[in-house]
A = this chain, B = another copy of it.
Amino acid sequence: MRILFLGDVVGEPGRKAVKKRLPILKEQYQADFIVINGENSAGGRGITPKICTELLRAGAAVITTGDHVWDQKEIVAHFASEPRLLRPINWPEGTPGAGSVVLETEFGKVAVINAQGRTFVQPPLENPFTVVDKEVTRLRDELGVKIIFVDFHAETTSEKIGFGRCFDGRISAMVGTHTHVQTADERVFPNGTAYLTDSGMCGPDESILGRKIEPIVERFKTQMPVRFPVASGRVRLCGAVIDINPETGLANSIERIQDIVEP
Total interface residues in chain A, CB < 8 Å:
51
Flag the segment in A11-19, A102-110, A152-160, A246-254 that touches B: A152-160
Given A92-B222, A208-B161, A213-B165, A183-B184 contact (CB < 8 Å): yes
Inter-chain CA distance A157–B179, complex, in Å, is 6
Inter-chain CA distance A142–B56, complex, in Å, is 49
B181 touches A197 (CB 8 A): yes
B163, B183, B220, B223: the one within 8 Å of A125 (CB): B223
A162 touches B92 (CB 8 A): no
Inter-chain CA distance A134–B222, complex, in Å, is 15
Chain B residue numbers with a CB within 8 Å of A221 are: 92, 127, 129-130, 133, 166
Residues of A within 8 A of B (CB): 70, 91-92, 94-95, 118, 120, 123-127, 129-130, 133, 155-159, 161-163, 165-166, 179-185, 190, 197-198, 200, 206, 208-209, 213, 216-217, 219-225, 256, 258
Q: Can you pick out 24 interface pairs between chain A and chain B where the beta carbons lie within 8 Å of each other?
A: A95-B222, A120-B155, A123-B223, A124-B223, A127-B220, A129-B221, A133-B221, A155-B155, A155-B156, A157-B179, A158-B208, A158-B216, A159-B220, A161-B208, A162-B213, A162-B219, A162-B220, A165-B213, A182-B183, A182-B184, A183-B184, A183-B198, A184-B184, A185-B200
